[in-house]
Structure 1
Amino acid sequence: MVDMLRHPRRLGAALAVTSLLALSVWTSAPAAGTTLPADPAAAATPPNVILILTDDLAWNLVQYMPQVQRLQRDGMTFTNYTVTDSLCCPSRSSIFTGKFPHDTGVFTNGGTDGGFAVFKGRGNESNTFATALQAKGYATAMMGKYLNGYLPADTQGGSLPYVPPGWSDWRVAGNGYPEYNYDLNENHTVVHYGDSPADYLTDVVSGKGSSFIQNAVAANKPFLLEIATFAPHGPFTPAPEDLTDFPGLTAPRTPAFNKLPANAPGWLAGNAPLTAAQKTTIDTNFRKRAQSVQAVDRMIGDLRADLAASGVADNTYLVFTSDNGFHMGEYRLTSGKQTAFDTDVRVPLIVVGPGVAAGSTRPEIVQNIDLAPTFQRIGGADVASAVNGRSLLPLLNGEPAANWRTASLIEHHGPGQDADDPDFQTAKAGTPTTYSALRTAVYTYVEYSTGEREYYDRVADPYQLNNIAATLSAARLAALHTALDALVNCHSQSACWTAGHVTA
């Protein structure tokens, strides 16, 4: 057993016997209220879905991830994919439900307008892609990170540690950011992991994911697996074998590094240039982030090998993405997120799967609200009219998209955060005031609760260094406000789809 603990993939195989006992749960009826109407177009053998959701992974880390680059060669890369809020809990809430923050009610990581308590309290857990696919007979597994404020031992008023509806196999941590010394709720049982190399969290969930795949295939069940890593979120802890990788690596010095945009909004305008010490810290942390995603990259390779060995690779969609981006030195900010800049809201979305053209790219405006309806349509489930997003299957199938949406919406509440929030940021890291933003393929437009506005022409100004909102005509600003307001106030798939077709 000691040898297995030091080799998580062997441990995963050993857990297979135990996990098989849970297969009877997969064949039981879904929880009340989760069953969706049958889809006559569903395939005889529904495709499987694997979502690899990383934490704070920005585009600039992909160059250090060979397995992710292989995904790009083998599948489709979306070049204009953005999140609804560059913050963990709001973004993950949108992913689970296909809804904007203004419909999930989750704008922050905690308090009265965010976190697990708000997500659950507003009934979101009963309407996720997991409940939809479980209702269609899928084995469903959630592993790693759930939502901020979730605690593995919390019973939520029941007799056992709480597991949300929709999940057949639940292995989720609370504070897994350090990658060691954490608890997992493993199907209503809390299991503690320590500080040995075998306890490294990314490796642990990798092994458990492999076990789940093997068991589902053995049971002839279509499956949905989400592995949500804590990496590369701070404190940026690499696996033991990666601690010395990339010696001398420094953070990218783009034109935005240590540069204040012209006509910056008030929350940013007073930022002084980065000090030498701050630059050194940024470089150290960037190197640690590159190191910490190596385990994620290996996990992707291992899971793809499992799919191939199990004979289901050709019938499985594997989706790689991040809950938000991360700035490190850009705009005179230290390390953080939450802004409407592309460093924070534009993240990787790469998909391999049946019918997905190898080495292809799609430039359409897509968002994390599109993932839930995509997974549901893959599994033959209907998509509720209250969902704000749109299935990406037509794009994945290579269909023309002349009438696809032209704008995405970003919503953020700020600047307050609890001091114990793992995403707590100082003003130097970035604490933007409440805003909503409109992002098209060519510009970003932001309205703050203070009345300030930003407009960046990303064709002429790709690094968003010149806010030209003050130069726009009153008519142009009015049109932008109207377009943004329509998205902020949409509450159904049809309304949000219409509002997303911006001509301003």
Structure 2
Amino acid sequence: MPPLPVPVPSPARRRVATSLLIPALVLLSAAASPAAAPAGGPARRPNIVFLFSDDHAYQAIGAYGDPRRLVETPQIDRLAKKGMRFDRCLVTNSICGPSRACVLTGKYSHANGFYNNTNSRFDGSQVTFPKLLQRAGYQTAIFGKWHLVSEPTGFDAWEVLPGQGVYYNPPMIKDGRRVKHQGYVTDIITDLSLDWLARRDRSRPFLLMCQHKAPHREWEPAPRHLGHDGDRAYPPPQTLFDDYAGRGPAEHRQDMTIARTMTARDLKLTPPPELDADQRKAWDAYYEPRNEAFRRAAPQGEDLVRWKYNRYLHDYLGCIKGVDEGVGRLLDYLDREGLADNTIVVYASDQGFYLGEHGWFDKRWIFEESLRTPLLVRWPGVTRPGAVNADIVSNIDFAPTLLEAAGVPVPGEIQGRSLAPLLRGDTPADWRKSFYYHYYEFPAVHDVRRHYGVVTDRYKLVHFYGSDVDSWELFDRREDPLELRDVFKDARYAQARKELEAELTRLRSELHVTPEDPPETMLPAAGR
């Protein structure tokens, strides 16, 4: 099937299409916002704490109820108990840097210019929601993972990891200069966030973005969490030994399997080089006896895959234990300081992650475990405690939501839509029923082919494209929730396919997606 035609709208039509994406209520001025002052009184704008982790699968949050019951996250779960859990928060481009750019701008990768982790560089001169909050009187700070190459803009204070960062004794960049820390990265990021809160100007509202490296590859837990699971044998997902039958060349040609892709460093058969003497002693005390037992047993075939799966989950979930503790420390601070009742707290990740489903780790795909990210929002006085939302929402919706909550007008260029009505328990009649996804990073690590597609509650239509692949696939999640069977050529789905093709064309036109790939001139050379 050839690529769908993409009409190029005129400037006037572009303005109209963009305006249709933004509900009228988020264009109201601060004076008309629910966050604005009551008559005769000063404004009491909410503080905002944005907690962001890297590659945190929704399956690894207790509140999401994965049947494997992989890990307890009592602190993150506090947000679900006192706020809203979103069950269909979808990312526009499932990879670290691009997702962060979407969060900051409220725009898709093709609109904000950051397409991939390989050679994109974030244009810090463009409008972001922290800049708009800063101009509106908020004090703003970001600590932790940045991963956008250029330096942060729109923040009164910042200290970020260079590139991906490391887990142990990480170097960081503070207001443009390099500094070195001793300790574990999740604890350090939490400490920096708490220190800033303690020193902030208490006369003004604040935005704090606390962005963890964990649980990103190579999944290195803190020393205190090395024995967190008591050598548990984790229940495998149904698709751990998926052979990708019934699907196209893209699924067969990827390189992100637990079976063949994981390295000795991933599996802790070699230690991280950043460890100091005390850390190395604790590391070896835990891993070496277990590694020696592994070498003696020398498992093969499926037994070897099971061993890798269990080692992977031990390490990955150990990292999450540290994140959960950090979230608890920040929530406790808000409680102690009397800030909780006037602070919006958001917990999310830059995308989903595979925990053995389809035999995979990592992300990138339009498929469910990668596409869907956790999102928990506590907004006291607005959101009903324990609420659950099943609407299709996205990481491009974070910016307009927080702007509206702060009483700041939302620019028309933002492609997301405020979640404020959903958080109040009222889904607008015109809320999105379909969603556009586009992944660009190939050739690159894991060999996941470029693809774009449309997602609805039931279906996914996806086009894989490039020099070695040009294939369309269709999945019916109601009949095939594990996404194991491509029905694109099945005559029974002819009408559904026709409707999805039309919807994909509509979305690409409305979002102004013209080329399938950015021209080289749009991708400044930059490091990872």
TM-score of the aligned structures, taking structure 2 as reference length: 0.75
Question: In the alignment, which residue of structure 2 is the partner of 1:208?
Answer: 192
Kindly indicate whether the alpha-carbon contact (under 8 Å) linking 1:177 and 1:233 is maintained by their aligned counterparts in 2: no
Deviation at residue 474 of structure 1 after TM alignment: 4.8
The structure showing larger relative contact order (alpha-carbon pairs under 8 Å, at least 6 residues apart) is: 2
Matches of 1:133 and 1:90 in 2, distance apart? Answer: 22
Question: In the alignment, which residue of structure 1 is the partner of 2:205?
Answer: 222
Kindly indicate whether the alpha-carbon contact (under 8 Å) linking 2:147 and 2:164 is maintained by their aligned counterparts in 1: no
Matches of 2:164 and 2:464 in 1, distance apart? Answer: 33
Question: In the alignment, which residue of structure 1 is the partner of 2:375?
Answer: 349
Deviates further, 36-45 or 356-365: 36-45
Instruction: Note if 1:245 corresponds to 2:198.
Output: no
Which among 159, 166, 187 is matched to residue 178 of structure 1?
166
Larger-gyration structure (1/2): 2
Question: In the alignment, which residue of structure 2 is the partner of 1:433?
Answer: 449
**Percent identical:** 29
Q: Deviations over 1:7-60 (max 9, x none)?
A: xxxxxxxxxxxxxxxxxxxxxxxxxxxxx9952134211101111111011012
Letter of the 2:501 partner, please give it. Answer: H
Matches of 1:252 and 1:371 in 2, distance apart? Answer: 34
Which among 77, 80, 84 is matched to residue 88 of structure 2?
80
Unpaired segments ≥5 residues, structure 2: 1-26, 37-42, 63-70, 260-300, 513-528
Q: Deviations over 1:264-321 (max 9, x none)?
A: 1202236799443343223211111111111111111111111111111011111001
Kindly indicate whether the alpha-carbon contact (under 8 Å) linking 1:177 and 1:235 is maintained by their aligned counterparts in 2: no
Question: In the alignment, which residue of structure 1 is the partner of 2:485?
Answer: 466
Kindly indicate whether the alpha-carbon contact (under 8 Å) linking 2:147 and 2:161 is maintained by their aligned counterparts in 1: no
Q: Deviations over 1:402-438 (max 9, x none)?
A: 3211112211014312xxxxxx32xxxxx22111121
Question: In the alignment, which residue of structure 2 is the partner of 1:370?
Answer: 397
Matches of 1:321 and 1:169 in 2, distance apart? Answer: 22
Q: For 1:4-403, what aligned pairs fall within 5 Å after superposition?
A: 39-40=30-31, 41=33, 42-43=35-36, 44-63=43-62, 64=71, 65-111=73-119, 114=120, 117=121, 119-120=122-123, 125-149=125-149, 163-175=151-163, 177-194=165-182, 199-216=183-200, 219-269=202-252, 274=259, 275-276=301-302, 277-333=304-360, 335-354=361-380, 355-403=382-430
Aligned residues: 421
Q: Deviations over 1:484-503 (max 9, x none)?
A: 122233348xxxxxxxxxxx
Matches of 1:174 and 1:279 in 2, distance apart? Answer: 34
Kindly indicate whether the alpha-carbon contact (under 8 Å) linking 2:165 and 2:171 is maintained by their aligned counterparts in 1: no
Unpaired segments ≥5 residues, structure 1: 1-35, 151-162, 418-423, 426-430, 493-504
Matches of 1:235 and 1:490 in 2, distance apart? Answer: 39
- Please tell me the root mean square deviation across aligned C-alpha atoms, in Å: 2.3
Kindly indicate whether the alpha-carbon contact (under 8 Å) linking 2:146 and 2:163 is maintained by their aligned counterparts in 1: no
Task: Give the direction of change, closer, same or farther, for the CA distance of 1:489–1:260 in structure 2 (3 Å limit).
Answer: farther
Task: Give the direction of change, closer, same or farther, for the CA distance of 1:273–1:292 in structure 2 (3 Å limit).
Answer: closer
Matches of 1:88 and 1:131 in 2, distance apart? Answer: 21
Task: Give the direction of change, closer, same or farther, for the CA distance of 1:164–1:176 in structure 2 (3 Å limit).
Answer: closer
Deviation at residue 66 of structure 1 after TM alignment: 1.3
Deviation at residue 248 of structure 1 after TM alignment: 2.6
Matches of 1:413 and 1:273 in 2, distance apart? Answer: 23
Task: Give the direction of change, closer, same or farther, for the CA distance of 1:281–1:482 in structure 2 (3 Å limit).
Answer: same
Task: Give the direction of change, closer, same or farther, for the CA distance of 1:489–1:67 in structure 2 (3 Å limit).
Answer: same
Deviates further, 84-93 or 101-110: 101-110
Question: In the alignment, which residue of structure 2 is the partner of 1:24?
Answer: none
Kindly indicate whether the alpha-carbon contact (under 8 Å) linking 1:95 and 1:369 is maintained by their aligned counterparts in 2: yes
Matches of 1:410 and 1:270 in 2, distance apart? Answer: 21
Matches of 2:159 and 2:98 in 1, distance apart? Answer: 21
Tell me, what secondary structure is at the counterpart of 1:327?
coil
Tell me, what secondary structure is at the counterpart of 2:325?
helix
Question: In the alignment, which residue of structure 2 is the partner of 1:6?
Answer: none
